[in-house]
A and B are shown apart, each in its own frame.
Chain A
Amino acid sequence: MWIERKGLAQEIPAVAALETRQLSELLASLGFPVDGVASREGGDVLDVDITANRGDAMSHRGMARELAARLQQPLASMVPPTVVDGPPVVEVRLESPACPVYSTAILQLGSGVTPAEVQSFLLALEATPKRLPAVDASNDLLHRYGHPTHAFDADRIRGTVSVRWAQAGETLVTLDGVERKLVEQDLVIADESGPIALAGVMGGDRTKVTEATTRVLLESAWFEPKPVKATARRHSLHTDASHRFGRGADPCLAMVARDLLVGRLQAWCQATLVGAWTAGAVPATAKSVPLTGALLARIAGEPLPLAEAAEALRRLGCATDLDGGTLQVTPPSWRHDLAIPEDFAEEVLRLRGYEHIPSVLPPLEGPPEPLSPAYLQRQRLARRLSQLGFHQTVTYGFISPEADAAFAAAENGAEGRALANPLGQEYSVMRGSLLPSLQAMAHQNLRQGAREVRLFELAPVYHSGPAGPVERFRLGMVWGGTLGGEDYLSPARAVREADLMGVAKDLGWEGVPPLRALGEGLFGFELPIERLPREGSRVIPAFQPFSRFPSVERDLSLLVDLGQSHEALTSAMRAALPVDVLQDLRCVDVFRHKSLPEGRQAWLMRLRFQAGRTLVGEEVDGWVSAALAAAESLGARLRA
């Protein structure tokens, strides 16, 4: 919100002596940071950030109140002209408790324009003066004192004025020229022919003040915040008035603002008062709240005398009553945010300055909790994969339905994971798999000229369930492009499925991972993390004895069928060998060439034996023969 320095100094003369920078720091320390300073109409204008709970601060007077309390300096007195309420000129009926008070007046306008200094004030705040005194005076009051008011063209109002809930089907063309279809939850000001204003939000076009207006009917009321906020949101009509009523205006200001408005019109354009009257009454003020010394000391971090707290709260406009160890505090009519003892404790601290709060480490009251195994597992996986050359990605949890459908499990319907209000079709489904995102990222990297792409992501995927999507962390990885070939020792070759197998094995995955081909030379897989091994609960694993005797290695070159399964061959060979001596058995080379018999390939099988003694050549020969015989039973032949 824009605050003009000159306008502020008119409310609290003491700030005139401050530099803009000092003033900004002062406001920030009170909870109103200054986002920027502009120079307009020959002076500095501050862009002050006001939090949503402080409707009372949304004016020059509101800011001045805060500064006056902190600086212990007086506010300028606010002297409205004496306007005496008389009998209603037009009947005003309050039909909803959402508007408890409505103060009004009818004035006959004379000649005259908005004073130059008021126009300059409005221009400084980027509020365009209309050069119609009734409109500009209302606007001036809003920015100066924070109370929204409105002036109707009295000659365009038909009959009784009422504040009531709209009837379904009613419409209102608001000041911005838009026709609004009203609902029963919209609070309106109406005359006998229908709504003439959205209460606390915006006036209507039919009764607006123009150059031709000669008589005005003023509206200075107080509206409940909730319906104003709801109406503003419903009609996407966020106005200066709706912001202030929506956050809570000061009900006690309704009559004062009416009087100020009358005074301005009398002074600016020789208006004559036809009549002034008020419907309803200012609602009862808030109840008192007890603030104990113990609570204040707990929040402040040190004991603070309640008398001192009372003094600070009084400076903020609160009424206080110190009763032994408890301070009874009643907030002023403009502070709707003060309701519980903690709120008042905050006010005491805020006025004192948060820099006075001591700095203390909280004592430990119980044993700390370890990090969860699931969290640690993800940390370990991420570290391991990054050590293996993979790059961790972060991608959005929502993707396009097409990309999702290509990878999500068949039974995982997308309807249960779809967003009602996505940013767009491409971000509309909570993903059932990480692979579409990883595939897109891999292709993007390859398009950007990467020789090789290695990516992984650890993130939840979503599974449609009756009570909503169920989330489970998955590990997804993709690998593609060209390996090696970038130095004199590593030959270049394309990434193969077997490379991904190796990574899955390294992570402790048992068996073949669910590999997917994701495009030319690009492969990926996705694993449920809970099926990967977790760190055991033991500090150190149980001791496993190992032999210190030398191992014996023998190679067998076998001709096997092209369709031979390595798994089947090795298990047959293993079955023929004593379990306790066979240390390892694997194929270490595959040779496929047209020089071999048709339909056959050559596998170099390596057998490694070890025992708790030195092995003798003959016994090893016997085992190798047995292994060969087992292989031969599957159709393998020793290669000549």
Chain B
Amino acid sequence: MDQLLPVEIVEAGHAFPQALFACADLDALLRLKGAYVGRDGSHAAQLMELLKAAPKEQKRELGAAINALKQQWEEGLKGRQLELEAAKKRLASQADRWDPTLPPPMPAQGALHPLNRLMDRLVDVFRPLGFHVEEGPEVETEAHNFDGLNIPEDHPAKASSDTFYLAAHPELLLRTHTSPVQVRTLLRVAPELGKRGGIRFLAPGRVYRKDEIDPTHSPMFHQVEGMLVGHGIGMQHLKGTLDYALRALFGPETEIRLRPSYFPFVEPGCEVDVSCPLCGAKGCRVCKGSGWVEILGAGLIHPNVLKYAGIDPAEWSGWAFGMGVERMAMMLSQTPDLRLFFENDQRFLRAMGGLD
């Protein structure tokens, strides 16, 4: 049979499956289609010419051969076209598909400072007990910072080696604790104390002491002061409030312990320990194996502090506490260096501050 056909067409017929497979897209397939079965100049067209010119006796046999060949080509092309169309559709659908594992555009991520977060948390803990927030200036008078707090005139904290003073105003200093807010607040509310039924407040804020900067010291740090004045207030009320507050802060399993101590503005005075929140009081590096960590100083307001503010200690009594915010933050977070809180590296702030 092949001997009836021109050599090049026979070769093209042999090459067809290969050529068909080589068509990677519909355009290439269209070109192949043109070359084999197109209207003009294609192999099929040439064969039709050949058939026309063939002697009569050959026409039937030749026609059948040509038809078989054409049919083979057309079927091949049709099949490949379906394949390529399906592949194209598949690609198109993939192009539209979203890959959820690609990094998405992120809303900007900021953070509250961990020290502010901790102070906010303390306010949250005390709010249900009716405490509000009182604030006072950082530049204070000696009277508010020391005298009103029953701190003796010759107390070493007053020395210029311990406390920062203003050059142009020798009677002004940078408050060394948040306790002057007690003095200011008591002076303000003294005339209306009976009408308002006592007072209870927190005073969070920044304080200054003349310490060189090192991993455990900073000339500026934060304290939260708490104070309550009412009728018949005793140590049991201090203990009750701290029991509640420190459990709210550290968890319901928390135990507290009061130890006698001394601060000039309270009498009796105490240090307050909590069962170590890091090891569950089993003993660890933080609590030095004791199961307890010191968390704050407190006591009943010294009668002289009430008297200074014009409040009669025979009628009114109260308690006060003060805690170091950095100290607590470092203990809870195990931050190794106090300076990190003031370096304000965004990586530290993001990791420590969260969004509340």
Contacts and interface: CB of A to CB of B under 8 A. Distances in A.
B84 interface: no
A468 B166 contact: yes
Interface string A200-234: 00000000000000000000000000100110010
Given A420-B170, A421-B160, A487-B105, A30 B345 contact: no
A386 B346 contact: no
B206 to A, nearest CB: 7
B241 A362 contact: yes
Contacts of B109: 389
Interface string B334-356: 00000001111110011001011
Given A372-B132, A430-B139, A386 B344 contact: no
Contact of B300 (A299, A418, A448): A299
Contact of A397 (B108, B133, B208, B346): B208
Interface in A260-296: none
Nearest to A299: B234
A360 B236 contact: yes
Contact of A445 (B167, B195, B258, B345): B345
A42 B342 CA distance: 46
B244 to A, nearest CB: 6
B112 A375 contact: no
A396 B113 CA distance: 14
A388 to B, nearest CB: 6
B38 interface: no
Contact of B132 (A30, A368, A389): A368
A441 interface: yes
Nearest to B218: A396
A217 to B, nearest CB: 31
A468 B172 contact: yes
A392 B111 contact: yes
B243 interface: yes
Interface stretch (A109-117, A133-141, A449-457, A524-532): A449-457
Interface in A342-368: 342-343, 345-346, 349-350, 354-355, 357-368
A484 B103 CA distance: 13
Interface stretch (A46-54, A544-552, A555-563, A613-621): A46-54
A92 interface: no
A229 B154 contact: yes
A454 B240 contact: no
A365 B230 contact: yes
Contacts of B232: 298
Interface string A378-407: 010011011111111111111000000000
A489 interface: yes
Interface string B187-211: 0000000011111110000101010
Nearest to B314: A295
B234 A396 contact: no
Contact of B262 (A51, A420, A423, A441): A51
A484 B196 CA distance: 54
Contacts of B260: 29-31, 346, 349-350, 354
Interface string A399-430: 00000000000000001111111110001001
Contacts of A367: 130, 196-197
Contacts of B17: none
Interface stretch (B25-33, B49-57, B266-274): B266-274
Contact of A386 (B102, B112, B228, B259): B112
Contact of A388 (B108, B132, B165, B230): B108
Contact of A357 (B110, B170, B235, B341): B235
Nearest to B231: A365
A301 B197 CA distance: 20
B173 to A, nearest CB: 9
A375 B135 contact: yes
Interface in B148-163: 154, 156, 159-161
A361 B241 contact: yes
A13 interface: no
Interface string B296-309: 00001011000000
Contact of A416 (B107, B165, B168): B168
B268 A361 contact: no
A488 B231 CA distance: 66
A368 B131 contact: yes
Contact of A468 (B103, B164, B169): B169
A237 to B, nearest CB: 14
A444 B190 CA distance: 48
A467 B137 CA distance: 13
Nearest to B115: A394
B138 A397 contact: yes
Interface residues of B, number: 95
A351 to B, nearest CB: 9
A382 B112 contact: yes
Most buried by B among A28, A359, A368, A375: A359
Given A299-B268, A357-B235, A488-B102, A419 B167 contact: yes
A298 B315 CA distance: 11
A336 to B, nearest CB: 12
B120 interface: yes
B240 A360 contact: yes
A542 B303 CA distance: 50
Interface residues of A, number: 95
Contact of A421 (B108, B165, B241, B300): B165
Contacts of A589: none
B237 A362 contact: yes
A340 interface: yes
Contacts of A511: none
Contact of A389 (B105, B108, B220, B267): B108
Nearest to B106: A487
B303 A370 contact: no
Nearest to A354: B258
Contacts of B324: none
Contact of A394 (B167, B228, B342, B346): B342
Contact of B110 (A33, A389, A421): A389
A379 B237 contact: no
B350 A379 contact: no
Contacts of B170: 420
Interface string A467-490: 111010000000000001011111
Nearest to A460: B138
A301 B236 contact: yes
Contacts of A343: 267
A91 interface: no
A489 B350 CA distance: 24
Contacts of A471: 137-139
B104 interface: yes
A375 B137 CA distance: 14
A365 B103 contact: no
A29 B259 contact: yes
Contacts of A362: 129, 200, 228, 230, 233, 237, 240-241
A462 interface: yes
B113 A392 contact: yes
A498 interface: no
A367 B240 CA distance: 20
Contact of B259 (A28, A360, A419, A490): A28
Nearest to B169: A468
A311 interface: no
A391 B241 contact: no
Contact of A358 (B130, B219, B236): B236
Nearest to A350: B260
A416 B342 CA distance: 26
A79 interface: no
A448 B343 CA distance: 12
A133 to B, nearest CB: 35
8 contacts: A298-B233, A382-B112, A387-B110, A391-B353, A398-B164, A422-B164, A445-B344, A471-B137
Given A342-B268, A394-B116, 9 more contacts: A340-B303, A346-B260, A367-B197, A368-B200, A369-B130, A382-B116, A397-B174, A423-B212, A427-B219
User: Which 3 residue pairs of A and B lie closest in terms of their CB atoms, listed nearest first?
Assistant: A366-B197, A389-B108, A301-B236
